[in-house]
Amino acid sequence: MDLGLANTCAVVTGGTSGIGLAAARILIEEGARVAICGRDADRLAAAKAKLDTVKPGAVLAERCDVLDGGDVNAFADKVKGWSGGKLDLLVNNAGQGRVSKFADTTDAQWREELDLKFFSQILPLRAFKPLLDAAPAPAIVAVNSLLSLQPEPHMVCTSAARAGVQNLLKSLATEFAPRIRVNTILLGLVDSGQWQRRFEARADKSLTREEWFTALARDKHIPLQRLGAPDEPARAIVFLGSPAASYITGASLEVSGGVSRFI
């Protein structure tokens, strides 16, 4: 199936690793030009080098903290010049989970988590909307978590923030219609640097990576009996952001290996 992404331009925040990097690569493979951003200059350069092997000249890589309005606006200005003044797809992909219960989450941690989850969406949306408005069939895809609909007591702060973000994005799907489509993916457990760090800090050092991740999937009751690979949610992002999904907006696609308990 032709996704219709040839000669389009996309922005992927948090594009230096994991799902963001995988989405950028697939978009380039489908014929898009992609601008990525990240806070770490070394990781940004490494990501650009990887993407240049797919198609030289198809990627713009800029240092940007998505919680800094000045950084985000400067990134949008760079993209405007690079893309010819329009943007076909914005992928908002930033942030990680905070493990904490209500009793041990401080006011500062609540504010930090709410700020991260909301403004990593709000600031890019605000900065890039004029470029999206200039495109013929623009789309936004946000990476959110299954926690937004199925909260976990050991991640109370992140769960609450994710739920608020999901409400925001659903509202924007109506506000931005019919010009801009807005969809989300809801992640379960996906192999990432965060899970790699937890593996390295495991109590039983005799366990191999495969053994530890298999046990994790079993403990989390994932029906597919494994964590997702970054490419798997990335493919969902690319589809939802493409013209092939032209009648889909306001939707949330669960990418979780079947771990959800709701209908």
Mean pLDDT, residues 116-125: 97
Structural domains of the chain, count: 2
Same domain, 59 and 163: yes
Residue by residue, DSSP assigns 150-185 as S--TTBHHHHHHHHHHHHHHHHHHHHSTTTSEEEEE
Determine what percent of the chain is predicted with pLDDT higher than 90.
86
Position 12 scores a pLDDT of 98
- Return the CATH number at 75: 3.40.50.720
Q: Tell me: do 163 and 93 sit in the same domain.
A: yes
Place of tokens 């050092």: 205
Give the model's confidence band at 244: pLDDT under 50 very low, under 70 low, under 90 confident, else very high: very high
Q: Examine residue 1 and state whether it is found in any structural domain, yes or no.
A: no
* Same domain for 211 and 93: no
pTM score, two decimals?
0.94
Domain of 199 in residue numbering reads as: 191-227
One domain, residues 106 and 155: yes
Cα separation, 225 vs 218, whole angstroms: 6
Does residue 255 have a pLDDT over 80?
Answer: yes
Residue 171, pLDDT > 90, answer yes
Model confidence at 96: pLDDT above 90:
no
3 pLDDT tier (thresholds 50, 70, 90): very high
209 and 90 in one domain?
Answer: no
Provide the β-strand partners of residue 9.
Answer: 33
Shared domain check, 109 and 205: no
* Residue 259 maps to a domain: no
pLDDT score at 86: 97
The answer, yes or no, to whether residue 204 has pLDDT greater than 90, is no
